[in-house]
Chain A
Amino acid sequence: TQLLEQSPQFLSIQEGENLTVYCNSSSVFSSLQWYRQEPGEGPVLLVTVVTGGEVKKLKRLTFQFGDARKDSSLHITAAQPGDTGLYLCAGYPSTSYGKLTFGQGTILTVHP
């Protein structure tokens, strides 16, 4: 079973639309992170959220950590073709700081 469930798995939208990607778990996390990966490259860290209820903004991207620290969301406003990529959520379970647990990813395609 996947500790971090991401949805949707695939998202294909037109330029200018808004979208939200979800990352859910039944476990509590010390922190959650979001990464974006372009084809042929490694994932790049976008943001880390640490406090329950925390909201962080990065230009058109808004990240939220759930109050209970079990879930997170990524919202993109007015998507652009440059946002196309694989988005991964990842978290450190509160019971272990050892290594990150990754979700299975969301493939986003933004059409011009």
Chain B
Amino acid sequence: EADIYQTPRYLVIGTGKKITLECSQTMGHDKMYWYQQDPGMELHLIHYSYGVNSTEKGDLSSESTVSRIRTEHFPLTLESARPSHTSQYLCASSEQGPVYGYTFGSGTRLTVV
């Protein structure tokens, strides 16, 4: 049973629209992450957070922004979507420490037309 929820699962929008991808977790994890992934390809870290009011950019340059006002909630916003943003976006969370893995959401498949 998933403890981390992403909505929507699928989204098709027009170029220039503003969108927010939602991610919520019920595990009380301080650490949360956003990854971008094309089908069958490697994960690219775009944002991460180590706690409330803490956000950092990841390894892949992204035009998106994130916020972390509550522990359980880590939304990602694209101010002006472009076709190059078409991808799958995965949210994850984890506990602190090297023995803990990530729990991933089911992802949001975004298509910008």
Contacts and interface: CB of A to CB of B under 8 A. Distances in A.
Interface of A: 30-31, 33, 35, 39-45, 48, 50, 86, 88, 90, 92, 97-100, 102-105, 107
B88 to A, nearest CB: 8
Contacts of A98: 50
B109 A42 contact: no
Given A40-B109, A43-B104, 15 more contacts: A31-B98, A40-B106, A41-B106, A42-B104, A90-B102, A92-B98, A97-B96, A97-B97, A98-B50, A99-B31, A99-B33, A100-B94, A100-B102, A102-B42, A105-B42
A88 B90 CA distance: 14
Q: How many B residues touch the partner, as a band?
A: 20 to 34
B74 interface: no
A90 B99 CA distance: 12
Nearest to A85: B40
Contact of A42 (B41, B90, B98): B90
B101 A45 contact: yes
B49 to A, nearest CB: 11
B92 interface: yes
